[in-house]
Amino acid sequence: MPQTHVTSMLKALMLISLLLSLAGCQRAKDVDYLWQDYSQRLAHVIDQAYSPPPFEPLQLGKAKIAELAPITISILETLSLGHCPLGRLIADHNSTLGKVAPPSQQLIYQIRFIQLAPACIDTLEEGELKTKLKQALEQKQDNAMAYFNRVLTRDRSITKSLFIGYDSLVLGEMRAGRFELESAIGQLLSIKRNITQEQWQQIDTTQIEPALALMAHQTLLQRYLRALAYSQAQLHGLNDYLSTHSASVACRPGHANRKQEILQNVFHKYYLAQTQAYLSQLNQLHYRLSEPLLSLFEGSSHQPFIDHYFGQQPDALPEQLKTQMRRHVKWWQAFRQSCNIAPPSSST
C-alpha cells in the first residue's frame, strides 16, 4: 500500500477519533450549564458584569425523635407464648439483633406484633400475661405512626434522597428513575394510610425494605431538589440584574439597534428554547411528586422541608420560582414593546 494512502487513512482515523471525543465531552445541559450559559450571553450583549447570587439551598435538618418506652415481654413470659407465632416474633426481637435493629425493622416488628397479637391473646386464660399483652397491643397501635415517621426521618436511604448535593437533572432526561421513585413513595404511602385507618391486616410488611431499597438506589429526588432551588436563586438574581441595567438596553421610542435585536435572539434561543423548556419539565415532575410526598411526610419532623420544596404556600420554592418566571417574561415583554422589535431570526 502506498505511503501516501496510509498517511491519509491515519489522518482520517485521527479526525474521526477527535470528533467522537469532542462529542463525548460535550457538557450535559443540566441546571448549572443552562443558567450559566444564558446569563453569560446576556451579560456579554448588555456589556455589564453579572455575578450570580450565592447558592445556599435549605438543607434537611436533624430530625427530632421522641423516645418511646414500650411495654416489654420478658424471656420467661415469651416461653409461655411458644404455641403462638407472636411468641417467636417476640423472642427474635429480644435477641441482640432485635435490640439494635434499624428503624425499618423496628416498624416491621411493631406492625407484625399488632397483626399477630389478637389471635395469640385469644388462646390465653385471664391473667397477668394476657393483660400485659393487651396493654402492649394497645400501646403499639397508638405508637405505630411514630415508628413509621422514624423510618421517614432516620432511615439512611430517605435521608440520602433528600440531601442536596452537586448533581442536578439534565434537560430531556428527567424521566429516568421516575417510575422507581413513584413506586417507592406509593408503597410507603399505602402503609401510612393503612396505619392511619387502623387496617392492620392490610399492611404488607414485606414491602417496607424493598421500597427503601428503591429510595436508596434512585437519585432523581435529590437532583430535582437542587434543580428547583438553583433555578429559583439564579432567576431571581438575573431578574435583579436586568432591572438594574434596563436603562442601558433601552431603545429610542420605536427604534431598535443591532444590540437589542441580538438581545432578543438570546432570550428566544437560550431562555425560551432551553431554560424555559427545562423549567417546564421540572414543573411536570413537581406535578407528579408533590401530592404524594406532601401526604407521605405530613406529621413528620421533615414536613417543613417537604413543604418548602413541594408546597403551594407563597413562600414555598415552587411558588417563588413561578413568581420569578412571570417577572422575567414581563421584563422581556416591556423590552420588546418599547423597542418594537420584529421576531428574532434563526441565528444569534
pLDDT tens-digit profile of 268-326? 999 999 999 999 999 999 999 999 999 999 999 999 999 999 999 999 999 999 999 99
pLDDT at 18: 45
pLDDT at 302: 95
The DSSP call for residue 167 is -
pTM of the predicted model, to two decimals?
0.86
Angle, helices 276-297 vs 178-196, to 10°: value is 20
Cα separation, 261 vs 264, in Å, equals 5
The DSSP call for residue 206 is G
pLDDT at 12: 53
pLDDT surpassing 70 at residue 222 = yes
Average pLDDT for 185-212: 96
pLDDT at 306: 97
pLDDT surpassing 80 at residue 66 = no
Confidence band, pLDDT 50/70/90 cuts, at residue 250:
confident
Q: Which residues pair with 30 in a beta bridge?
A: 170
Confidence band, pLDDT 50/70/90 cuts, at residue 348:
very low
Of 149, 62, 63, 60, the closest CA to residue 106 belongs to 149
The residue whose grid cell reads 438575573 is: 238
What's the pLDDT tens digit per position in 6-46?
A: 455 555 555 555 444 444 456 789 999 999 999 999 999 99
pLDDT at 291: 97
pLDDT surpassing 80 at residue 96 = no
CB-CB neighbours of 50 under 10 Å: 16
Instruction: Report how far apart, in Å, the C-alpha atoms of 273 and of each of 34, 171, 277, 279, 332 are.
Output: 11, 11, 6, 11, 15
Q: Do the Cβ atoms of 255 and 339 come closer than 8 Å?
A: yes
Can you read off the three cell numbers belonging to residue 106?
423496628
pLDDT at 343: 60
What's the pLDDT tens digit per position in 132-185?
A: 999 999 999 999 999 999 999 999 999 999 999 999 999 999 989 999 999 999
pLDDT surpassing 80 at residue 4 = no
Q: Is 164 exposed, middle or buried, given 0-12, 13-18 or 19+ CB atoms closer than 10 A?
A: buried
pLDDT at 50: 94
Can you read off the three cell numbers belonging to residue 120?
395469640
Domain ranges for the chain: 27-54+220-339, 75-217
pLDDT surpassing 50 at residue 101 = yes
pLDDT at 299: 95
Give percent of the chain above pLDDT 90: 68
To the nearest 10°, the Cα dihedral for 285, 287, 292, 294?
100
- Helices assigned H by DSSP within the chain: 3-24, 31-46, 75-79, 85-93, 96-99, 103-122, 128-154, 156-161, 178-196, 208-217, 220-244, 258-266, 276-297, 303-310, 317-339
Region of residue 198 (left: phi > 0; alpha: psi -120 to 50; beta: else): left
Cα separation, 333 vs 346, in Å, equals 20
